[in-house]
Amino acid sequence: MTINDTPPNVRRIETSREDAYAFEVVGHITAADVENLYGLLEGAYEVHDKIDLLVIIHDYEGFDWQAAFKEQTILGKTHALKHIRKYAVAGGPGWMGTTIALFRPFFTMEMEYFPYEKVEEAWKWLGAKPASPPA
């Protein structure tokens, strides 16, 4: 990456458990970011039938709503439902917590929302933590 390159808006965070996945989402989320996230999750499903997932959102600047309704995104969401045991979101706009509370009864996976200031509680709920950097 050069100094002029912009880092991706979706970045994977290594965790303390092989079957726990975490992602940091920053800024404005585009269709390419959503496809990248679902691509990374598809790789996880190849290795683990069931995973736990934490998405940490900060400095949120919006979302390309057309990305939510693209065929690839809908397929990714549908496939994810089969593989996610626990799903936590930390941060993002306030409506995310309301949305998770609204949809929680309709899914078999456990779902929780945490304000960004309580990201440590989200990690504990998931039963994982960020992996230590290599020595």
- SS3 of residue 34 by DSSP: helix
Summarised one tens digit per residue, pLDDT across range 101-113 is: 988 888 888 999 9
User: Is residue 135 in some structural domain?
Assistant: no
pLDDT at 78: 58
Residue-range definition of the domain harbouring residue 103: 10-126
Report which of residues 103 and 125 the model is more confident about.
125
Higher pLDDT, 6 or 88: 88
For the chain, the farthest-separated pair of C-alpha atoms sits apart, in whole angstroms, at: 46
The answer to whether residue 68 is domain-embedded is yes
Query: Could you tell me the strand order of the sheet in which 20-29 lies?
Result: 10-13, 20-29, 51-63, 84-91, 110-114
Residue 99's pLDDT band, with cuts at 50, 70 and 90, is confident
- 101 falls within a domain: yes
Q: For residue 36, is it within any domain?
A: yes
- Inside any domain, residue 133: no
1 within some domain:
no
Query: Per residue in 32-83, pLDDT tens?
Result: 887 788 888 888 988 999 999 999 999 888 777 665 555 554 455 555 778 9
| Residue 132 included in any domain | no
Look at residue 1 in the predicted model and tell me its pLDDT: 46
Given pLDDT bands bounded at 50, 70 and 90, which one contains residue 129? Answer: very high
- pTM for this entry: 0.83
Tokens of 127: 């039963």
- 41 found inside a domain: yes
The tally of domains found in the chain comes to: 1
Residue 36: CATH number of its domain: 3.30.750
